Structure 1
Amino acid sequence: MAVGAAVQAGVLAGEVSEIVLLDVTPLSLGIETMGGVFTKLVEKNTTIPTHKSQIFSTAEDNQPNVDVMVFQGERPIARDNKLLGTFLLDGIPPAPRGLPKIEVSFDIDANGILSVTAREQNTGKEQKITITASTNLTKEDIERMIRDAEANGQEDQKKKAKADLRNEADALIYSVERHLQEFGSITSSAAKARAELLISELRQKIKDDLAYETLKQALDDLAAHLRSMQSEAQAASASASSASASADREPVGAAAGGASSNNNDVVDAEIV
């Protein structure tokens, strides 16, 4: 990581009273996340030394490890930036996707040396990489990378939007499949068949890399169907709970020795 210098000026009554030179990061630093997206942890022009951290998770059920790929640059897709290094964090306990908490920390010392640590919070297991070669970037390299980011800004935003949409679609498919696993017994055959068809169509559209609008429509269709199935499951659960509560109520009147019916209040079961 090349280190630049910024001038911090203190101005009093229109006059500069003191000037402090601060070392800063000339380019942003971060990692590649799901869908090839560049997720920044240290923004450009951050004063060093600095420490930044963020919590991430797994992209698959029972994922045993994660590749941490460290990049430097300003473009939203990771591969369009400079790869600084990569390392593997393994030994992640089996768990549904999104459940493990993996803290990724970036530490930059006063000499511009970058240390990246990934730590699985449940087990405490961690891996670390120290990057010194990143200081090899020249002023010309930095300026060129910034110009490239500006020149490709509009196209890059389209790529980023599509990558985000693919990630959203992946998460939605996972939610629908989990819903079918948990509530399949009270979901109609027609609803299940419709869900499977919509999932298949959405996956094919992602594979074919169709236009953003086409993917968005397929995603919206599946999301609407999931809401419909959730309503169906909620209604079925409420009906079953109501029937169970009615069956559990004791008869009143003669069995209570002629007690007043005012003492026979019924509390309905709570539906979660």
Structure 2
Amino acid sequence: MTAFAPDSLVLNRKLPLWYQVSQSLRASILGRAPDASLRLPTEEQLAGHYGVSVLTMRQALKELEGEGLISRHRRRGTFIEPGARRGAPVRLLGSVDAIVAQQSGERTTILGHERTAVSGELLEHFPDTSELVTYRRLRHDSVSGEPTNWAENAVRTELAESIDLADLERFPMTKVLRDLVGVKISRITDTVEARLADPETAALLQVPLLSPILYYTGVTYDDEGRVVDVARIRYRGDRFSFTVTVDAH
């Protein structure tokens, strides 16, 4: 059994530190290796890893404990719950790390990928190119095996050349582009709306035709202001909820 190793995190001072730490640690827990230890490092070790105070670390751990992802035992330590791979409410707080965290922890099946012409709603995002590579993926709950959402990602062809399909089975597209391909992501614009399940979505998500779903669009920009990826994700309406927190400062 290997030791549990949390991912690194670049802190954004405009967002609550405890929230950023909890979301980064949450992503590490949900995306951990199958043979990873369930025992977490001590509060002091985790605080040193993330570069925050022990008080901030305790607040982050309290959040994860409230989600049922970890349990804390006096004198014994903090442990990951064995079933900590289930779905949880999706919360968008404006952090790329938060988005990565929310998309982690599910089993992913690649449905296919192909070069496609730029058309329809993608035209406004990619005015400087005529062709993209579209990836289609189906995500399942790691415990129940039920489908939770399916995603289409339209990515620039020059970036797609560096994408390994095996990585897309393990990580969200945002993480692959940023951490493995090397794209410097500046921002992601998210839109969520209610829709009805079309025949393809109903079949993939195993829900009745025309049943309510959540349709998410995420437009990812690099540091030059170019759109590098447009994600369109259909979530089962009975499995997810969205909470948006707006920082007024």
Normalising to structure 2: TM-score of the pair?
0.29
Larger radius of gyration: 1
Normalising to structure 1: TM-score of the pair?
0.27
Greater strand content:
2
Higher RCO (Cα < 8 Å, 6 or more apart): 2
Greater helix content:
1
